[in-house]
Structure 1
């Protein structure tokens, strides 16, 4: 039985590894590809990311409700894997012709397709594995660290691959999708009352209703959480979208800059995996709400510092702050959702409160920041972005309540 449980842990870890291998390869090297291979301006490149976000806005509410209805069934996850399988062929044979026909049209179509796999699909992947690992009595942060390891691996090998052949990045995504599909097919998680976790019992016995879902929107903490996600998750992605190009601009040879950036990203993500091991313990000590606030403060410092640092080694060191920020954010999000809301609705809350809100922000701020970078430059643009972060984090913190508030409320009701 213990051997079976260990095998299941590695299965969860493997799914995170291969999915986030794809995620890291795309988001680390897509900016370079759009700039150097597709030769798009920063504003049109920003439109690709906005299209990814808009598509996710449409998908997230639908995905969230479907996944909560499915519980531990794998059909929706399987659809995401199917989309991932065709990333290589799409980029190799369709994306450039679409961009050559009409840059704006191609950017929208390309962004929409990638969103099926990434911006929209990640909610399905995260929600399913979090629920499955919770039902199997695993700590989310310990399973999630495999995603960080994948990111480090992708950054390390991706730089070499991209310099040799920019298209090889996307074919590596297709190969990873094949392995992800095999792991998903072999995974077995029981959704019965004999699960060791009490929340799994509740999920099995009580179906999700429309009234349950509506209760989420009546909770002020949901709206505060959503605002906080715009300040942290949105701005994290918006900042990282074109930072690789900013970093590479400090090198006389841009390809050298791209390679150095991939090495730094690899170090950052392996450090992130280390922090992911201790993050659950740390968040349990300070509380999930405080963990989110702390993640927002780290992001604010990271963006503002990048506006004033003009030495490559300082920028590289500053980027490593993301190794602390990401574990704080990811673990706090899941602990806040399961600590405040009905666990049967974890996918809905995750996809609407986190992913949907994040994509709303990305839809707006990807394009806005693309224009700002063109008009006032990266450094002044980063100052503006840091102000946006601080504003949303403060607003969200004032509205959302801590999970301890709801624990006390439940205890009083039980008494």
Structure 2
């Protein structure tokens, strides 16, 4: 009976990632096209709408984490936020004015920001309890996103008007919410959670603070690359169909690395795997800065699998390892806020100016410089980990 229950929980976890990323993958990649083609929103207005997501995440992701730690009802909170995200997305169909699109974008981002960190918190906790493989679960997210980008592009190009992305997205996210309710629950602690004290613990945790900077410098450029990669490919001479195919290959290449990430981690260690993924990212950005031939880009697009497919499982496990269990969700949402939120916004924002005033290739020099800084800090953490006293030394002492 126990084995059957574990199997059901793993099925729910995998299904959640698949449908949640099918939902967001249906909406987000084609949102800017919908706004310009069907709603005739200007380019600057589209830029403002698209930039809201990372900014909102900076504030809301830690909020969801602290609320989860306080209520200890992570899966219920996840189910509500996932379904509400899908319903809010329908607002893009219902409304037709720019101010209302701003409102929809802000609300969509606020609830969407809870999906990944809360589901990661549940998955990490359960895989450690059952000696499972987190990467083997998380890869279904990459699979769902890759399928959504490819299929929705074909569907909206040949069969249906582009606004169906919101209908499909809502349906997928509601399905994910149902699966969230079937996820394993968490063991409630008898002691009352002190949110202020927990937050103080995190910001006085030296390895945690340093790793937040590593996330900002090493992982955020990979997210910002989603914004500039199509422009880079276009400038390199790729056709529209080739751009779509390369995006699909890049996302799908993450799957095998996520599947076997735990083997790398067990053999090399968390920080060494993070260093490896950061080094591959650095190589990729430097290569793109040199304005390579199109065939070289084709040959190296799978490096995204190493950069993201190894980093995500290793980084999440490292955050869980260095933070107390009673503030786990808060720590994971802060990690997401730095990488998915502030870091993504910074790289996208600064990259936009570099693109306007220099070139698209120079954007990747920015990414490379950040990656060098991230590699240096990761190396510091590797050395510090060898000295247990240095590893656990706190950065700041707070007085009550």
> C-alpha distance in 1, partners of 2:242/2:33?
13
Aligned residue in 2 for 1:196: none
Q: Kindly tell me: are residues 122 and 223 of structure 1, through their superposed partners in 2, closer, same or farther at Cα, counting changes over 3 Å?
A: same
Contact persistence 2:121–2:328 (CA under 8 A): yes
The answer to whether 1:29 aligns with 2:30 is yes
Aligned residue in 2 for 1:55: 56
> C-alpha distance in 1, partners of 2:224/2:387?
32
Report 1:87-166 matches (<5 A).
Answer: 87-94=88-95, 97-99=96-98, 108-164=102-158, 165-166=161-162
Q: CA-atom RMSD, angstroms?
A: 3.0
Aligned residue in 2 for 1:220: 206
Q: Kindly tell me: are residues 88 and 355 of structure 1, through their superposed partners in 2, closer, same or farther at Cα, counting changes over 3 Å?
A: closer
> C-alpha distance in 2, partners of 1:211/1:136?
30
SS at match of 1:158: helix
Aligned residue in 1 for 2:7: 6
> How many angstroms does 1:324 deviate by?
1.2
Report 1:39-50 matches (<5 A).
Answer: 45-50=46-51
Q: Kindly tell me: are residues 405 and 327 of structure 1, through their superposed partners in 2, closer, same or farther at Cα, counting changes over 3 Å?
A: farther
> C-alpha distance in 1, partners of 2:87/2:246?
29
Contact persistence 2:271–2:378 (CA under 8 A): no
> C-alpha distance in 2, partners of 1:31/1:87?
17
Q: Note the residue ranges of structure 1 that are not aligned, 5 or more in a row.
A: 100-104, 193-202, 411-415
- 181, 199, 204: which one pairs with 2:189? 204
Aligned residue in 2 for 1:102: none
The answer to whether 1:299 aligns with 2:281 is yes
The answer to whether 1:177 aligns with 2:173 is yes
> C-alpha distance in 1, partners of 2:293/2:42?
25
> C-alpha distance in 2, partners of 1:108/1:341?
36
- 383, 386, 390: which one pairs with 2:372? 390
Aligned residue in 2 for 1:241: 227
Q: Kindly tell me: are residues 38 and 378 of structure 1, through their superposed partners in 2, closer, same or farther at Cα, counting changes over 3 Å?
A: farther
> How many angstroms does 1:321 deviate by?
0.9
> How many angstroms does 1:39 deviate by?
6.4
The answer to whether 1:314 aligns with 2:308 is no
The answer to whether 1:323 aligns with 2:309 is no
- For these two proteins, the number of residue pairs brought into alignment is 388
> How many angstroms does 1:18 deviate by?
0.8
- 286, 290, 300: which one pairs with 2:272? 290
Q: Kindly tell me: are residues 375 and 183 of structure 1, through their superposed partners in 2, closer, same or farther at Cα, counting changes over 3 Å?
A: same
Aligned residue in 2 for 1:375: 357
> How many angstroms does 1:303 deviate by?
2.2
> How many angstroms does 1:215 deviate by?
2.0
Contact persistence 1:223–1:399 (CA under 8 A): no
Contact persistence 1:49–1:363 (CA under 8 A): no
> How many angstroms does 1:28 deviate by?
3.5
TM-score, normalized by length of structure 2?
0.85
Q: Deviations over 1:52-80 (max 9, x none)?
A: 11211121221111112233542321231
- 269, 274, 277: which one pairs with 2:256? 274
